[in-house]
Amino acid sequence: MDKNIIIVLVSQQTIQNVLFIKEFVKNNDDHILLISTKGMKEKEEWIKNSLNIQNKYHSIIVDEYDNKDILEKLKEFNIHEYKNKYINITGGTKLMSIETYDFFKSIENCHIYYITRGNEYKKIFPIEEENTYNFKCSVSIKEYFKAYGFESKESGLSEIDKEYTYGFLEKFLETDSYDIIKELQNKRNNNSVKKKGRLSTVEVEGLNDFLSDIAFPLKNEGIISKKEIEYLTGGWFEEYIYYTLKDASVVQDADILCGVSKKNGRSDNELDIVILKENQLHIIECKTYICNKGKSSLPADAVYKLDSIQKELGLFAKPYIVTLNKAHEIDEPHKRRAGQYGIKILTIENIVEGNLISNIFPNAPQSL
């Protein structure tokens, strides 16, 4: 059987190479060539870990700023033992892309591509009239995170049923018991609650009346668990947005997760909602900001945190903040800062007016 080879330039943006390799590897006889640099060795391992395939890998380490070194290393590799060569020049430095393109365009059966956006790539050599394609392959959320060096785990939903969560939005907006919820927030972070995993309801003044008013389905009378506290102090809103998006059927169930932790030992974060649609990651942070009720603005750290997470998960990842604030309650500096980072802020108006989904997925039908 004739062997083909898939060739990629390794860079910070690893998911494009993972997709390209998945798209063009047809069987176990195909080989993979990673053109990399000393600084990108870790990224090579991330790509391999994400793909988890048995094909044979080759690696060329080049000086990314020395065109002669790049050309010499390419010449040393026995490229002529392969029938078809599929090359992705999206990654690497500009010099690496130029030298790779110039080298392969004069070799028989070479097909050179460039990825233009999350799920789209173009064939740039040989030139064809129809040269734009969508990836037929797809990655899972776990594979996506692995491509950037992270392990991911879903913490899962609370035991509160969906219908109660849908109805809780109105209860929350109508309540005047924000001081009770604020106190629950403080208790949630208390070492005693963290250790015991529960709290007596009499320890928070007015809590029993509040729970009765909202018909909260307390599992054990007189005792509120840490999970139930987390639900009342913001978890419900994450689940509300999760159910809203999931019930709209814009993605498969496996492609939307609630409460996802990402860890690599250096940067660990909890993400409220993660959605993968057409190989593009959407990161949604849900903020009730009850502590700011009656005040304007979003806490600046929410914007900075989301920007940092987005940078770790690739240029094509799309970040959102969904908040119970009204649009006019968010001050202009925060709006500008979010805009500078490419973060879209969606407010309570988007939720109650039913255009939350269309703001995240413009081509999806509105279901609310």
Q: Which long-range contacts (CB under 8 A, 24 or more apart) does 345-351 make?
A: 345/298, 345/320, 345/321, 346/320, 346/321, 346/322, 347/323, 348/173, 348/323, 348/324, 350/322, 351/169, 351/244, 351/322, 351/324
Is 134:120 a contact under the CB 8 Å cutoff? yes
Q: What is the pLDDT of residue 53?
A: 94
Q: Where in the chain is the domain with CATH 3.40.1350.10?
A: 162-360
Residue 224 one-letter amino acid = I
Question: Rounded distance, CA 259 to CA 225, Å?
Answer: 18
The β-bridge partners of 110 are 85
What CATH number labels 5-137? 3.40.50.10770
- DSSP letters, 81-139, are G-S-EEEE-SSS-HHHHHHHHHHHTTSTTEEEEEEEETTEEEEEES--SS-EEE-S---
Is 160:217 a contact under the CB 8 Å cutoff? yes
Instruction: List CB contacts of 79: < 8 A, sequence separation 6 or more.
Output: 5, 85, 104, 107
Question: Rounded distance, CA 44 to CA 60, Å?
Answer: 11
Is 14:38 a contact under the CB 8 Å cutoff? no
Q: Quick one: which of 363, 331, 367 has its CA closest to 347?
A: 331
Q: What is the pLDDT of residue 364?
A: 67
pTM of the entire structure?
0.92
DSSP element (H, E) containing 68: helix 67-76
Question: Rounded distance, CA 188 to CA 124, Å?
Answer: 56
Q: Where in the chain is the domain with CATH 3.40.50.10770?
A: 5-137
Q: What is the chain's pLDDT, residue by residue, as a tens digit (368 residues)? A: 689 999 999 999 999 999 999 999 999 999 999 999 999 999 999 999 999 999 999 999 999 999 999 999 999 999 999 999 999 999 999 999 999 999 999 999 999 999 998 899 999 999 999 999 999 999 999 999 999 999 999 998 999 999 999 999 999 988 888 889 989 988 888 877 878 889 999 999 999 999 999 999 999 999 999 999 999 999 999 999 999 999 999 999 999 999 999 999 888 889 999 999 999 999 999 998 754 444 545 667 889 989 999 999 999 999 999 999 889 888 888 899 999 999 999 999 999 999 999 999 997 654 43
Q: What is the pLDDT of residue 228?
A: 96
- The second-level CATH assignment, the architecture, of 162-360 is 3-Layer(aba) Sandwich (3.40)
Q: What is the pLDDT of residue 291?
A: 47
Tally of residues, the chain: 368
Q: What is the pLDDT of residue 368?
A: 38
Question: Rounded distance, CA 162 to CA 306, Å?
Answer: 27
